[in-house]
Amino acid sequence: MYKVLITDHLSSVGIDILNKEEDIEVDYQPEIRWEELLEIIQEYDAVITRSRTPVNKELLERAKNLKVVGRAGVGVDNVDLEECSKRGILVVNAPGANTVGAAELTMAHMYTILRKLHLAHQSMLEGEWNRKKFMGEELDGKVVGIVGLGNVGSQVAVRCKASGANVIAYDPYIPREKGERLGVELVDTLEELIKRSDIITLHCPLTEETRGMFGKREFELMKDGVYFVNCARGGIVDEDAMYEFMKKGKFAGIGLDVFSKEPPDDRIRRIFEFDNISLSPHIGANTYESQDKVAIKIAQQVVAALKGRFVEAAVNAPFAITQELKNIKAYLELAEKLGDFVTQYGGGHFNQITIEIRGDISEHIKPIEAYVLKGYLSKILDRPVNIINAPYLAKERGIKVVEQTQEEGKVFKEFIKVTATSEDSSLTVGGTVFYGKFPRIMLVDNYWIDIEPEGVILMFENKDVPGVIGKLGTILARHNVNIAGFRLGRLEKGKIALGALQLDNPLNDVILEEIMEIPEIIKAKEIIF
């Protein structure tokens, strides 16, 4: 008999799913006090929480029988994932359950600012009847620019198209086929989307790449009279820059559900003084339907986890690494870094990843594949990615994964090669492990090279002529960046060469721009492991 403790409020439909299982006993205590929880947690095999209950080390130390933590929602900030993993406790959540709710809230904000509904409502409450004051605009015929064409962005696209809008989207990690299926034009750059859009709506995760994505430069590029909606994450937008452009009259209307600090502080609340802004307190998931979906999904995940079935929404490693996998630990590390390299160096709209494994390690193709996908996806998603959910997430994003195995290679006995392809681009990267301990990237496209995948690496393609390395060194020295190592690969003397500089310090945009101004440099990209 499995005992499940629910420590936060959960829709009854989820509780019903648990109660229908004959070997599961449910204890529903949504208002349980922390001290009491610490006393009884040792009795339970699973706990289901929301954000109220901290699943921290203190709790886990007492949870002697705990096998599963279910987070009824997407965020797992209140769960110590590392400690759970160490103790072999599986953590599951409920991603995607609030997709429709978030999309519909976006549309509500969009229509509100287009038609000034919030202002008309307030005017009526004050006893006014001023029809001329509230002349608005129609969504029909507008160019709507969607930043992030994931689950929510796709649903917003469908609704905007149904209203007669022309929809474009920017998402460098979504295959073009998905845009075609939705009837959405995928543009190549964020700048193009900003310049063309009458309405801009954000639906991307908050990652290091997207943090502060919309600031002074982006607001300057927007059309005068643009409409701007953010129901994604607050940190994507520089609210200080937004405030300055609101004072200039840049926006026809703004809709916000999320803020960089919640509840907003006085600095953020400055933007509330403008009457063309529609506000809500982070309520994208606050629908009865969304809460039912969250409850259903988390209950199903907890049941599956307790009974040893496949769990699609795991957010940490669900099992201790076996001795056999420990023996190829360095190859698993290499696999993850190959996937990471593809994302950082290749970018693009890759819709197929082919993983070719040579030698005896080919019998471990499934875990190697999972580590490649984990590396590939980790930097582009704001949810935890691990070896369990990485294949599911790849499938969800429309990425086809192809497995290939061969006998030992001609150059290296054991070798992992990853080829990422899309309609108009491809990237191949491969590597091996030296002495069973040291991962090395040995192949980038057709170039044989030897790269230690650690720290900061400047990858660059250049015309194979004298003086290029000297020019690079001069720029780096001027910015006090030390070169720790250098590797070069080339196919033919005097043609194109591929270089890799191991650096002691990260670069910045200024340095990269100077490097790209070197006439012989074709491409330069900073890779950070």
Give all domains of the chain, ordered by start, each with its CATH number.
2-96+289-306 (3.40.50.720), 99-279 (3.40.50.720), 321-445 (3.30.1330.90), 452-529 (3.30.70.260)
pLDDT, position 37: 97
pLDDT, position 372: 95
pLDDT, position 323: 58
Compute the distance between CA of residue 469 and CA of residue 482 in angstroms, rounded to an integer: 13
For residue range 262-302, list pLDDT tens digits in order: 999 999 999 999 999 999 999 998 999 999 999 999 999 99
Compute the distance between CA of residue 179 and CA of residue 314 in angstroms, rounded to an integer: 28
Report whether 384 contacts 316 (CB < 8 A): yes
pLDDT, position 322: 55
pLDDT, position 207: 82
pLDDT, position 85: 79
Question: Phi and psi dihedrals of 383, rounded to 5?
Answer: -110, 155
How many Cα atoms occupy the beta-carbon half-sphere of 409 within 13 Å?
A: 17
For 496, the 3-state DSSP assignment is strand
> What is the number of helices (H) and of strands (E) in the chain?
19, 22
pTM of the model: 0.75
Q: Which two tokens stand for residue 522?
A: 């074709």
For 485, the 3-state DSSP assignment is strand
pLDDT-flagged residues of the chain (< 50)? 320
Provide CB contacts within 8 A for 52, sequence distance 6+. Answer: 7, 8, 78
Give which of 170, 156, 147, 183 is closest to 349, Cα–Cα: 170
Compute the distance between CA of residue 382 and CA of residue 93 in angstroms, rounded to an integer: 14
Four-point Cα dihedral 370, 376, 381, 384, nearest 10: 30
Compute the distance between CA of residue 213 and CA of residue 238 in angstroms, rounded to an integer: 8
DSSP structure class, residue 445: T
pLDDT, position 288: 94
Q: Give the gyration radius of the chain's Cα atoms.
A: 26
Q: Which two tokens stand for residue 234?
A: 């607050």
Q: Which two tokens stand for residue 279?
A: 């506000």
Catalytic residue positions, numbered: 233, 262, 282
For residue range 115-158, list pLDDT tens digits in order: 999 999 999 999 999 999 999 999 999 999 999 998 899 999 99
How many other CB atoms sit within 10 Å of the CB of residue 77?
Answer: 8
For residue range 12-33, list pLDDT tens digits in order: 999 999 999 999 999 999 999 9
pLDDT, position 205: 85
pLDDT, position 512: 93
